[in-house]
Amino acid sequence: MADFKRGIIIVMDSVGIGALPDAAAYGDTGADTLGGIARGVGQLDLPNFAALGLGRVKPLPGLEAREVCGSYGRMDERSPNKDTTAGHWEMAGLTLDYHLPTYPQGFPREVLDPFEQKIGRGVLANKPSSGTTIIEELGDEHVKTGKPIVYTSADSVFQIAAHEDVVPLSTLYQWCQWAREILVGQHAVSRVIARPFTGKSGSYKRTANRHDYAFPPPGKTLLDHVKDAGLASVGVGKISDIFCGQGITRSLPTKGNNAGLKATVEELKKHEPGLLFVNLVDFDMLYGHRRNIRGYYESLVEMDRALPEILGQVADDELLIITADHGNDPSFPGSDHTREYVPLLVYGPRLRNGVDLGTRKTFADIAKTLDAALGLGKVAEGGSFLDALR
């Protein structure tokens, strides 16, 4: 018997809350996304996050709240990764027990040769880099030669940057699809990413026409179980990309956090039974990777101001979870994700307030909790915290 009609997950992409115990193995000792932002800007003006209990997960200046309207905790990632795909899959109840492939020396010829043959030209770069740095470095050569800029990072990604006036978006997307077909087996990276840009020499800028091509989940997730039960499984932002459309009944791609928040409010108003799964990518894409502390903070303020409307739309028979998928400390050296705990903020009009959910051992506790709330009984991984909130 279902206690709730809908579960809602909002993922603040990369909003970590302190280094995990194994962070040293990833070169991430001392990483702390929210802590780094707080040190960078001083007093945090995030009253609605404070009211949900964020300051009780990690005490930070400006996050104090005498009373909270939700429950709170933090989660450890069981998967040995710090990647968007692995993080989302785990919170949907499917945990990877292996490291996704990464390429600190660039991609081998066994990957590049068939790719170059398929697209009919060579490539530039083939090395780890920041996306903004690589187009500054090689944008002119790309425009001159038409060769795409292929690069990676510390994460499991194959990224293709191309100027929209040189390589039409449809062509870039086709190249990414071909790369996805090549990158299988031992080279099955978590995502192939189209990184289009525009502008002129000295002022190139990435556009919002990014598109992700993820590796399909190797098993069923909470999304599949919701869909199989005849319920709506709605993805906002890049959720459908992350799950390769698997388990999705309706997808609402958005460009930027503002559009994502607006789409979320509109979907909340429908009170459609099932699952609403939202990814807000700007924290990571625009500010974490670019090490922009001020921009990251302003994006958090934007979401904080949207929270009253979001909470106001959550019905008595709905359960909202706000979390993250990994860290990306903008105060940390480099430009890559950081291995961190993520916050767990839970709200529902029928739920108890002020419950300390502690440190959860896996992101899969989200899937197990919503599986129980929706009365599905299908998710095997994780432990439900629903009883603690009744």
| pLDDT recorded at residue 130 | 86
CATH superfamily of 109-214: Phosphopentomutase (3.30.70.1250)
Residue count (the chain): 390
Reported pTM: 0.91
Looking at 3.40.720.10, 3.40.50.450, 3.40.50.261, 3.30.930.10, the CATH number of the domain 6-96+218-389 comes to 3.40.720.10
Domain boundaries, the chain: 6-96+218-389, 109-214
What H or E segment, with its residue span, contains residue 252? strand 250-252
Q: What is the mean pLDDT of the chain?
A: 96
Give dist(CA 125, CA 350) in Å, integer. Answer: 54
Does 229 have pLDDT greater than 80?
A: yes
* pLDDT tens figures, 197-226: 999 999 999 998 999 898 889 999 999 999
What H or E segment, with its residue span, contains residue 135? helix 131-145
3-state DSSP assignment of residue 27: coil
Instruction: Convert 276-299 to b/e letters by CB count within 10 Å (16 or more is b).
Output: bbbbbbbbbbbbbbbbebebbbeb
Give dist(CA 332, CA 224) in Å, integer. Answer: 37
Q: Which carries the bigger pLDDT value, residue 93 or residue 212?
A: 93
